Structures are given as C-alpha cells and as structure tokens.
Amino acid sequence: MGPLDGIKVLDLTTMVSGPVATMMLADQGADVIKVEPLHGEQMRHIGPPHNDVAAGFFSCNRGKKSLALDLKSDEGKEVLFKLIAETDVFIQNFRPGAIERMGFSEEALRAINEKLIYVSISGFGENGPYAHKRVYDPVIQALSGATDIQADRATGNPQMFRIIIADKVTSVTTAQAISSALYAREKTGEGQHIRISMLETMLAFFWPEGMAGLTYGEREIDVTKFQGVMDLIYPTKDRFITAGAVSDKEWAGMCRALNRQDLIEDARFKTSTDRFVNSQERKQITADEIATWQSDDILKRLDEEGVPCAPLLSRMELMEHEQVVLNDSIQKIDYPGFGEVRQARPAARFDKTPAEIKGPGPKLGEHSREILSQLGYSAEEQQALIDGKKILTAS
C-alpha cells in the first residue's frame, strides 16, 4: 500500500496542472475520483484515442476512477455533496470565481466536511489584471521569464520550452503542498485552503539560477551577458554529447581528458568565477577539442576523469538506454484493450510504502455506476444521472 493509502481525493481539474498532481497522489495510494462533465474534459479530446482514451489523457489520469456528472443540475450537485462528506482533498482549477458560481465554494463544502483540504489552482492568482484571464502554458512562459531564459543565444530572440513545463511544475508543487497539508491536519485536526498560482510557481522554480542576477537588489546584473551564444551541447565526430565542469577538480579532469593540460592554469579559467565570466571562450575551446573525438572515446575519458557527461539521446533511444532499462524507469504494462502501455514509473521510491501505477487512464464515466451505487443510488437513478436527466424517484 502506498503512503497515501486511505486518502480520498475528489478531482474536478482539467487539462494538465491539476490532473498530473492527482495522478501522483493516485500513484502514492490515494483513491482519486475524477469528476468530469458528461461529454468529458478537454484533455480527452486532444490527440487520437486508443481504446477510447487519448495518450495524453491516459498519462495525466492513470489510476483514477471516472465519474461523469452534469454539475449544473441539482441531481449532479447532490452527488458531489454526498462525495464531499467522505473526501479528504477537493481540488479544482477553474478560473477564480467559477467554482463559487457552480455552488462549490470553500464555505459550502466546509459546512459538510470541516476537515477538508480545499485546493485551488489558477493561472495568476485571485487578484490583479490577469486574474480572470484564460490561461495556457505558453502564457505563463511568456510572463514568467521562461522565454527570456530560453532565448536563442545568437540572435537574442525569445523562445519557449517545447513542453508544457508550467503546468507540470505546478502539478509537482500542488502534490507536495497537498501532502504537507495532510500532515498538518494530522497534527492540528484542521483542514485548510491551498491556493496555487501557475505564475508564482514558475517564478519560484526559475529563481535560484534563472533569476540569480535579480537576487541582490544592490548588485542587480543581467546574467545573459555571461552566458554567451553556446549551450553545453557539443558535436563529436559521430553524435552530439554534453559535458560540463563546475568545480576546479572537474575542470582539471576535463582538460586532461581533452589533452589540454595547459588550460588548467590558464588565468581565464583558473577559478569557477573565471570560468563563468569567460564562459563563451571556455565553451568554444571545449567544443573545438571535443569535435576531434569519437563520442564513445571522449565520453569514456571524461567519465574516467570524473567529469559529468552523457550522449544526447532521442526520445526513441532513451527507451533502450542501459540506465533506463536497468532501473525499470520506463514501465511496460499490458492492459486489456490497450496492449502494451509505456509509462514513466513513479519517481519517488518508498521502501516501506511503495508507489505504483494502479491502473490505466479511465474511459469517460467508466466508474460512474460503481461510485453511484456506493452512494445508495438505485439502478434507475444511476441511469438518469448518466443520461443527464432528472431523477424522478426519491434518492
């Protein structure tokens, strides 16, 4: 059983930021019910489906139960209120004010369950000129400095991460915050409201090194002028690799691996600060030397000298890389109707309460009857709720 065994989560989130957070909780043993509209949430409709489930939706919602409800109806609202009574965590990522208009404010839910952990994810927080704007990952990247950090080093043109980084960093932050709130509740007996802004999450994520030049107000600097135009990507004779030396010991090791011992005492690269200030020259010399080697040969030499290094793998190559295979980092699971499914294993490995992938991403409403039955609804009432019709019999 996972560390969150026995914790019940009611998930009204859509797309990525909330669903990945609750997927992590499900991997760690929580019982997660995903409440969706009768037509399914938007992520279900992005990408071609396989066995009625799109790949992106599967990976964001594995191990959950799907309950399809019309939450605009009195009957749908009644179901959710019944679930709240036995829920530990309620999580939603509608725009500020929407959940209150739906009738599920913190006040309304806490009247039913005062120990509830109530979680609200938003793009920009609840105040300010952007608070009620629609948001997707690129908007957060634009406002958080991500496009400046990723800017093309040669032209200075802004660029975005080619993944939905803001959503997923928010997911990790949210899952961690929920665990902390559950721990606090164990000590105090009190629930609380967690508010998480995607913009603030990314600012915190980037700050340690991405915003280092802004840390000291009296010594504000533009760090981009020290970065040069090259990343730590170097061509060898047969493929691209990366190699980096931060400490003096690592730099000396790199110089020896490249047969350039003369650079160890070079005044431009003598200390970590020297190498930072003269990074463009350092990277260019490193690139010129690495380009003369076969990748296997130079990686072996760098590794023997204790220099962090690796080949640049394609997404197809990583599936068979020995480090990934040996640690079972990508799990291959056979599910009826899906065949072989590949998923990254839960990253946190608990030795006493192991996390595990509990099941596939659910089909729309796959568990509606099971959940409604447990709440005491008759077969006729279940069918009416599934069809989005009024319940004519008393529940």
Instruction: Measure the CA–CA gap between 112 and 160, rounded to whole angstroms.
Output: 44
Asked whether residue 193 carries a pLDDT value surpassing 60, the answer given is: yes
In this structure, are 305 and 333 located in the same domain?
A: no
Same domain, 143 and 279: no
pLDDT, tens digit, 9 for 90 and up, residues 68-78: 999 999 999 99
CATH code of 43's domain: 3.40.50.10540
- The percentage of residues in the chain with a pLDDT greater than 70, rounded to a whole number, is 98
Residue 323 lies in a domain: no
Is residue 225 one of the residues assigned to a domain?
A: no
Residues 253 and 335 in one domain: no
pLDDT (tens digit, 9 = 90+) per residue, 18-29? 999 999 999 999
Is a pLDDT exceeding 70 seen at residue 226?
A: no
The answer on 41 and 141 residing in a single domain is yes
SS3 of 266-331: the string is CCCCCCHHHHHHCHHHHHHHHHHHHCCCCHHHHHHHHHHCCCCEEECCCHHHHCCCHHHHHCCCEE
Res 362 pLDDT > 50: yes
Give the integer Cα–Cα distance in Å for 221 and 60: 39
How far is CA 285 from each of CA 113, 210, 264, 270, 312, rounded to the nearest angstrom?
Answer: 64, 25, 13, 15, 20
> Which of residues 279, 311, 343 is at a domain's end?
311
Q: Is residue 215 part of a domain?
A: no
Mean pLDDT check: name the lowest of 43-47, 79-83, 137-141, 153-157.
153-157
One domain, residues 242 and 360: no
pLDDT at 395: 41
- The verdict on residue 151 lying in a domain is yes
Residue 317 lies in a domain: no
- Binned at pLDDT 50, 70 and 90, residue 179 comes out as very high
More confident residue, 42 or 225: 42
The per-residue pLDDT for 231 is: 81
Q: Determine the pLDDT at residue 53.
A: 98
Instruction: Indicate if 13 and 145 belong to the same structural domain.
Output: yes
Are 174 and 108 contained in the same domain? yes
Q: Which domain holds residue 344?
A: 8-206+328-387
* Domain boundary residue, one of 311, 342, 367: 311
Residues 145 and 249 in one domain: no
- Please state, in angstroms and rounded to a whole number, the distance separating the CA atoms of residues 272 and 179: 38
CA atoms within 13 A on the CB side of 233: 8
Check whether residue 129 and residue 186 sit in a common domain. yes
Task: Answer with the one of 277, 311, 345 that is the final residue of a domain.
Answer: 311
Q: What is the mean pLDDT of residues 176-187?
A: 98
Could you tell me the pLDDT band of residue 217, with boundaries at 50, 70 and 90? Answer: very high
- Residue 394's pLDDT is 44
Q: Give the residue, 1 or 377, on which the prediction is more confident.
A: 377
| 176 and 52 share one domain | yes
Does 125 reside within a domain?
A: yes
Q: What is the mean pLDDT of residues 85-89?
A: 97
CATH of the domain at 261: 3.30.1540.10
* pLDDT at 88 > cutoff 60: yes
Domain count, the chain: 2
In residues, how long is the chain?
395
Specify if 395 maps to a domain: no
Q: Please check the confidence at residue 392 and state whether its pLDDT lies above 90.
A: no
Mean pLDDT of the chain: 95
pLDDT in tens, 300-344: 999 999 999 999 999 999 999 999 999 999 999 999 999 999 999
| Same domain, residue pair 163 and 272 | no
